[in-house]
Amino acid sequence: MRKRHKVVCCCQPAAAPIEYQEAGSGVPLLAVHGSGGGHDQGMGFAAGLASQGIRVIAMSRFGYLHLRTPMPADASAAAQADAHVCLLDALGIPKAAVMGGSAGAPSARQMAIRHPDRVNAVVLLVPLAYKPPTQADSAPPLPAWVEALILRVIGSDFLFWSALHLARDQVIKVVLATPPELLQKASPQERAQVDAMLEHILPVSLRAEGLRSDTAVGKHLSPSPLGSIRVPTLVISARDDRYGTYASA
């Protein structure tokens, strides 16, 4: 059974609340969601582990479902990593594995770098990360007008709902960075998972602050001291990811 909670991490300057849910029991795993997510998305991609002896803890990052996890003045990956540790403190968890998907990867990495004594494994899924200039990118950057249109759409529940129903393939291509034609070959279970992921972005207005922050962070990525991460680490990406995370990975 999944449980939903709201906690206050008093070690933060503003004692800001962090919403989370958890499922399963056993080895603790902090699931850090990507763009357009929240604790619901994190649980969506990690819930299957709850039946494998894993205690899955899925939280909402800064600005997501922001009536519950608000956007602080410092919304950097480092600050978010510190908030991850605050959540573990509030739950009485001394050490956990951390899994960061897409835009959740920067804070997952920072958690392992800044708090090595609190992390025992790292998993990064299609991670938003610095790409060395020598690495070829699998996808060109979006034109400025397309990015502006996307930011407008993600601020409106009606516009995003309309896009889902009138231009679904474009939403899959731009928001999920997935070639729509691949879904035609996917299993019914995978197509259902994609549909659920898209529908769960609504209400997008409650995630808009986080989406805008992720967009800004993605434009100013810098190298991380990855050599300081000494725990087992698994990095997963795909060559045809339109966000170019394969080169970053």
Instruction: Report pLDDT digits (tens) over 64-119.
Output: 886 666 788 888 999 999 999 999 999 999 999 999 999 999 999 999 999 999 99
Fold of 1-249: Rossmann fold (3.40.50)
- Whether 140 has a pLDDT exceeding 70, the answer reads no
The bridge status of strand 27-32 relative to strand 96-101 is: parallel
Of residues 195 and 233, the one with the higher pLDDT is 233
Could you report the per-residue pLDDT of 155-192, keeping only the tens digit for each?
Answer: 788 888 888 888 888 888 877 878 888 888 889 988 88
**Using CB atoms within 10 A of its CB, is residue 16 exposed (0-12), middle (13-18) or buried (19+)?**
middle
Residues β-bridged to residue 121: 97
What's residue 125's pLDDT?
Answer: 95
Task: Decide: 28 and 111 in contact? Cβ < 8 Å.
Answer: no
Contact 83, 9 (CB under 8 A): yes
Is the entire prediction scored with pTM above 0.75? Answer: yes
Percent of the chain with pLDDT over 90: 41
pLDDT, the chain, mean = 85
Residue pair 63/75 in contact (Cβ under 8 Å)? The answer is yes
Domain ranges (residues) in the chain? 1-249
| Predicted confidence (pLDDT) at residue 151 exceeds the cutoff of 90 | no
Is it the case that residue 2 has pLDDT exceeding 70?
no
Residue 15: exposure state from Cβ atoms within 10 A (0-12, 13-18, ≥19): exposed
Over residues 30-47, mean pLDDT: 91
**Higher-pLDDT residue of 113, 145:** 113
Residue 144 is predicted with a pLDDT of 65
pLDDT band at 16 (very low <50, low <70, confident <90, very high): confident
In this predicted structure, what is the pLDDT of residue 67? 60
For residue 186, give the 3-state DSSP assignment: coil
